[in-house]
Amino acid sequence: MSAVGSVGNVSPQRMRFEAPLALRNGATIAGYELVYESYGELNAARSNAVMICHALNASHHVAGLHDGDPRSAGWWDNMIGPGKPVDTRRFFVICVNNLGSCFGSTGPMSTNPATGEPYGPDFPVLTVEDWVHAQALLADRLGIERFAAVMGGSLGGMQALAWATLYPQRVAHCVAIATAPKLSTQNIAFNEVARRAIVTDPDFHGGRFYAHGVVPSRGLQVARMIGHITYLSDDVMAEKFGRALRREAASAGAGDYRFTYDIEFEIESYLRYQGEKFSKYFDANTYLLITRALDYFDPALPYGGDLAAALAPASADFLVVSFTTDWRFAPERSHEIVEALLANRRRVTYAEIDAPHGHDAFLLADPQYMSIVAAYFDRIHQNCLEPAVPVSTQSVEEAA
Amino acid sequence: MSAVGSVGNVSPQRMRFEAPLALRNGATIAGYELVYESYGELNAARSNAVMICHALNASHHVAGLHDGDPRSAGWWDNMIGPGKPVDTRRFFVICVNNLGSCFGSTGPMSTNPATGEPYGPDFPVLTVEDWVHAQALLADRLGIERFAAVMGGSLGGMQALAWATLYPQRVAHCVAIATAPKLSTQNIAFNEVARRAIVTDPDFHGGRFYAHGVVPSRGLQVARMIGHITYLSDDVMAEKFGRALRREAASAGAGDYRFTYDIEFEIESYLRYQGEKFSKYFDANTYLLITRALDYFDPALPYGGDLAAALAPASADFLVVSFTTDWRFAPERSHEIVEALLANRRRVTYAEIDAPHGHDAFLLADPQYMSIVAAYFDRIHQNCLEPAVPVSTQSVEEAA
C-alpha cells in the first residue's frame, strides 16, 4: 500500500435527469442536472460505495485537487484519500452537489425552461429529504444499490440521517457528525437574520438580481459573518484574535485605539475578509434555500416530536460524533440522536471529541477524531468488504 | 410607609454644559446638553443619591410613567420606586441619558455648531469613561459630592465600574450587574456584524442620512435582530417560541410547512417585529457609537491586562450579580471582576442568579435577584444614611 496521500487531480462529472422529481413542497422538477465527484474504484460487487453529503456552503469537491492547484484541495481532503480515515484504496467515495446549490447542479441561477430566464425566486423550496431522493436517483444510475456508508457533517449529517430512514435497505452504516435532529429556535433565529440581511439588500431585487447584473453582496457578507461567528467557539476566537488591534507595522500609536468605526480589531478584519470572499462565489438564492432546508429538517415532526419513532425504519449501524465546544450543534443534540437510536436497539458508536474549535472542528484534522473515524471505517470494511467465511465451515472448525 | 408602587408621573430634565469636555479620543466637546430624570428626594446631607447608568438602547427614563401612559413605564421600573429594591422613599435616584445617545442628550442627531448641520459621522467617538466624566459634571451641578451607590447592568455595569475607579471618593457602593471587565472577541464580532449591516445599508449615506430624509432602517433591523438573539438564552427562546409555526387561526394546513422564505416560524415573526420597532426609534449613528464604546471598554489595557491593578484605585464596596444563562456576559466574566476586587481586599458581595432568561434577566423581576438587590440597598441605607452612633458613647455602654 502507498503512503497517506491525496487522491490527486479530480474532475467533476455531470448527470442529467429528465424524469420529474416529486418534491416535498408538492411541486416537481424535471430536466435537472447534478454535478458530482468520485474517488477510488467501485468494486465488482458494488459493495464499497460511500456517499458523502455536503453542508451549507460546500460542494461536491470533497477531496483532491482541480488542475493540480494546491489551493483547490477538497473541503474534506484530510478525511478522504489513500490511507486517510475514509481510505480511497478501499472505498469508492462519491459526493453530489445538491439540487439548488450553486456549484454546477441545477439551482436558482439555472435557466428555468418555462421562462428562459434564471429561476431565481421561482426555484422550488427544497428539503433535506428532496436532496436525498435526488442523490438516490444518481446512485441508481451508477448501479449502486447499497452504500457501505452514508456520511456527513452538520447539514450533511442531517442528510445521512434522512438516508438511513428513507432508504434503510440502501445504507449499511450511517456516519452523522456535528449534527442535530432538528434546528433549535436559536439556530433558526440566526438563519433568519442572515436571510433578512440578504433579502433587504436593494441589490437582491426580489431574487431576480441576475437580470440586473448585480449580486446582493452586502447582504451575503453580513450573512456569512453571522454564520462564521456561530461556526467558531468563543474560546478559539479569543485564542486566535483576542482583542488584538489591527495595525500596520509602521503605524504610530500601535498600542492605542484609533477611535474609528472602521476596522480597529483583528477579528473585524477577519470577519470582513470572510464575508467578502463568500459574497464573490456564493449565490444569494441558494443561501436562502439551504438555510431554509436546515430550518425545515425535523424528521420527528410527523411523529408528534417522537424522534425514536422517526428513526425506527433505520436498519444501519451508526457512528455519531460531536465536539465539546460546538455551540451551533452542541453535544446534547447528538445525545438526542443516540438516545432515539438506542430506543430502537440500533448499534450506535458515539464519540464526543474534546476539541476547541467549535462547529468547525468537524472539518479539522483533530487526531482523536480522525482515529475514531478511521477505526469505524475499518469496521465498515470488515462488515461490507471482507470475504465472508461460510458459516457451516466455521461451525465445523469450531466443533473440531 | 406606603405600599410598593410606582414613582408615578415623571418628567425629564435638561442641563446644558458650556465648558469644553476633554474626551478620551483627544477631541473636546462644548455646549452640549444632558437629559436626565430623578426620583425621590435628595436629603439635606446629600448622602442618599444613587446614580443609575443605562445600557445600549435604554435611556434616562428608568422608572415611572410619562403623561400617565402605562405603556411608558421606565426600563427598570420593577427595580426602582417606593418599596422596590432601590427604594425611592429612601434614595434620590438619578439617571442621565448618555452623551451621544438619541433620547435627548447631545448626540449625532444634534446640530454641529461648526456646520449648522447634524453631527452625523462627525460626532466624536466616545468611551465609557467619557460618559462617566459627563455624569460627574452633572452631579456637581446637582450638588452631589458622593453617591451612596452607582449602579448599572450590562454596559451600565461597565460605567459603574469606571465610576468606582475614576472617582473613588465619590462612590460609596458600586453595583455591577450582568457585566464584564471587557468584551470578548465574540462580543466584538457580533457588534461588528451589526455595524456592518448598518453602514452598508445604502440609506446610511456615510452617516449623513438625516439630510436625505431617510434612515438605514434595514441595517438597524438586522442589527437589532442580532442583538436580540444574544440577549436571550437558547433555552428561553426554545421555551417561548420553540419551532412553532406562524399561522393565522383560520389558515388551511396549519400543521405543515408553507415552504416559503417569508415568515414561517414564530421566532421569525418575533425578531422581525423587534427589529422594525427598534428601527423606528433608534439612531443609527448612536448604535455605532454605543457598540464601539462597548468594544473599547477595557480598564486593564493600560495595565498590561492586569484587572486588579486597574481596579486598585476603587474604594467602594461592591455588589456583583451575574445570571447563569447569560451567554453574552457569562458568570465567568463577573468572576474576573470579583477576583480582581478581592485581590485589592475590597468588600464584595457576589450573587450568581439561576435564571433562565439569559442576558435579559437583569431587566426582569426574578424574586431572588430582587431580594438580593433589596437587601444590599438596605445595607447601603445603613452605611450611608442611618444616624451614626458616636463611638465613645457606644464604648461606654458596652463597658457598663
What DSSP assignment string belongs to A254-317? TTS----SS--BHHHHHHHHHHHHHHHHS-HHHHHHHHHHHHH--TTGGGTT-HHHHHTT--SE
Q: pLDDT under 50 in chain A at which residues?
A: 1-2, 250, 391, 393-400
Calculate mean pLDDT across residues B338-356. Answer: 98
CA distance A58 to A62: 8
Question: How close A301 comes to chain B (CA, Å)?
Answer: 9
**B65 DSSP 8-state letter:** B
Concerning whether A154 is annotated as a catalytic residue, the answer is yes
User: Strands A348-353, A317-323: parallel, antiparallel or unpaired by DSSP?
Assistant: parallel
Q: Which residue of A has its CA nearest to B271?
A: A189
Instruction: Match 470582513 to its residue by C-alpha cell.
Output: A272
What contacts 24+ positions apart, CB below 8 Å, involve A129-132?
Answer: A129/A24, A129/A162, A129/A166, A130/A21, A130/A23, A130/A24, A130/A99, A131/A53, A131/A98, A131/A99, A131/A100, A131/A159, A131/A162, A131/A293, A132/A159, A132/A162, A132/A163, A132/A166, A132/A167
Q: Which among A221, A261, A275 is the nearest to B288, CB-wise?
A: A261
Which run of H or E residues covers position B391?
A: helix B391-399
**Cβ distance B147 to B170 under 8 Å?**
yes
- ipTM higher than the 0.90 cut: yes
Cell, residue B197: 449591516
CA distance B48 to B377: 11
Choosing from A326, A334, A357, A360, the catalytic residue is A326
Cell, residue B370: 430582587
DSSP assignment string, A32-67: EEEEEEEES---TTS--EEEEE--TT--S--SSBST
In 3D, which of B152, B166, B188, B154 has the Cα closest to residue B299?
Answer: B166
Cell, residue A299: 424528521
| Chain A residues in contact with B267 (beta carbon < 8 A) | 185, 188-189, 192
B336 CB within 8 Å of a chain A CB? no
User: What are phi and psi for residue A13, nearest 5 degrees?
Assistant: -120, 165
**Sequence-ordered list of residues with C-beta below 8 angstroms from that of B118, at least 6 positions apart, any chain:** B108, B109, B110, B111, B112, B208, B210, B211
**Cβ distance A10 to A61 under 8 Å?**
yes
The 3-state DSSP class for residue A358 equals helix
**Residues counted in chain A:** 400
Calculate mean pLDDT across residues B3-31. Answer: 94
> Which pLDDT tens digit goes with each residue over B176-220?
999 999 999 999 999 999 999 999 999 999 999 999 999 999 999
Which residues of chain A form beta strands (DSSP E)? 13-17, 21-22, 28-29, 32-39, 49-53, 80-81, 86-87, 92-96, 149-153, 173-177, 317-323, 348-353
Verify whether the Cβ–Cβ distance A292 to B193 is below 8 Å.
Answer: no
CA distance B361 to B44: 36
Q: Give the other-Cβ count within 10 Å of A20's Cβ.
A: 12
pLDDT at position A94, please? 98
Which amino acid type is present at position B103? Answer: F
CA distance B282 to B277: 9
Query: A-contacting residues of B 237-266, CB under 8 Å?
Result: 237-238, 240-243, 257, 259-261, 264-265
Verify whether the Cβ–Cβ distance B238 to A189 is below 8 Å.
Answer: no
Choosing from B326, B334, B357, B360, the catalytic residue is B326
User: What are phi and psi for residue B231, nearest 5 degrees?
Assistant: -80, -25
Instruction: Match 467617538 to its residue by C-alpha cell.
Output: B125
Which run of H or E residues covers position A398?
A: helix A391-399
Q: Give the other-Cβ count within 10 Å of A208's Cβ.
A: 15
Which run of H or E residues covers position B53?
A: strand B49-53
pLDDT at position A247, please? 79
Choosing from A6, A38, A105, A154, the catalytic residue is A154
DSSP assignment string, B98-125: PTT-SSSSS-TTSB-TTTSSB-GGGSPP
Cell, residue B282: 433608534
Which amino acid type is present at position A304? Answer: G
**Cβ distance A330 to A322 under 8 Å?**
yes
| Chain A residues in contact with B272 (beta carbon < 8 A) | 192, 196
**Cβ distance A191 to B243 under 8 Å?**
no
Which run of H or E residues covers position B96?
A: strand B92-96
Render the burial of A251-262: b for 16+ CB within 10 Å, e for the rest.
Answer: eeeeeebebebe
Which run of H or E residues covers position A185?
A: helix A185-199
Cell, residue A246: 489591527
Q: Give the other-Cβ count within 10 Å of A247's Cβ.
A: 15
Question: How close B155 comes to chain A (CA, Å)?
Answer: 18
Cell, residue A154: 452538520
Q: Give the other-Cβ count within 10 Å of B82's Cβ.
A: 19
Q: Is the pLDDT of residue B394 over 70?
A: no
Q: Which among B222, B267, B298 is the nearest to A185, CB-wise?
A: B267
Bridge partners (DSSP) of residue A35 are: A14
Verify whether the Cβ–Cβ distance B234 to A192 is below 8 Å.
Answer: no
A22 CB within 8 Å of a chain B CB? no
Calculate mean pLDDT across residues B353-381. Answer: 97
**Cβ distance B45 to B28 under 8 Å?**
no
**Sequence-ordered list of residues with C-beta below 8 angstroms from that of B276, at least 6 positions apart, any chain:** B217, B221
pLDDT at position A251, please? 58
**Cβ distance B205 to B212 under 8 Å?**
yes
CA distance B8 to B74: 10
pLDDT at position A110, please? 98
pLDDT at position A253, please? 55
Q: Which among A185, A221, A257 is the nearest to B243, CB-wise?
A: A185
User: Strands B21-22, B28-29: parallel, antiparallel or unpaired by DSSP?
Assistant: antiparallel
* Cβ neighbourhood burial of A197 (10 Å; 0-12, 13-18, 19+): buried
| Chain B residues in contact with A360 (beta carbon < 8 A) | none
Question: How close A44 comes to chain B (CA, Å)?
Answer: 42
Concerning whether B326 is annotated as a catalytic residue, the answer is yes
**A377 DSSP 8-state letter:** H
Verify whether the Cβ–Cβ distance A193 to B271 is below 8 Å.
Answer: yes
Which run of H or E residues covers position B234?
A: helix B234-240
A218 CB within 8 Å of a chain B CB? yes
Verify whether the Cβ–Cβ distance B295 to A264 is below 8 Å.
Answer: yes
In 3D, which of B321, B302, B378 has the Cα closest to residue B24?
Answer: B302
| Chain B residues in contact with A243 (beta carbon < 8 A) | 182-183, 185, 188, 298
| Chain B residues in contact with A268 (beta carbon < 8 A) | 188-189, 192
CA distance A348 to A327: 23
Cell, residue A345: 436497539
Query: B-contacting residues of A 160-189, CB under 8 Å?
Result: 182-186, 188-189
**Sequence-ordered list of residues with C-beta below 8 angstroms from that of B252, at least 6 positions apart, any chain:** none
pLDDT at position A255, please? 67
Which residues of B148-211 form beta strands (DSSP E)? 149-153, 173-177
A336 CB within 8 Å of a chain B CB? no
pLDDT at position A390, please? 52
Q: Is the dihedral of CA B24, B25, B26, B30 positive or negative?
A: negative
Question: How close B214 comes to chain A (CA, Å)?
Answer: 15
Q: Is the pLDDT of residue B132 over 70?
A: yes
Q: Which among B26, B257, B275 is the nearest to A296, CB-wise?
A: B257
* Cβ neighbourhood burial of B313 (10 Å; 0-12, 13-18, 19+): middle
> Which pLDDT tens digit goes with each residue over B214-224?
999 999 999 99
Calculate mean pLDDT across residues B238-244. Answer: 95
> How many CA atoms are closer than 13 Å to the CA of B292, on its beta-carbon side?
25
Question: How close A320 comes to chain B (CA, Å)?
Answer: 23
In 3D, which of B293, B80, B53 has the Cα closest to residue B163?
Answer: B53
* Cβ neighbourhood burial of A69 (10 Å; 0-12, 13-18, 19+): exposed
pLDDT at position A321, please? 98
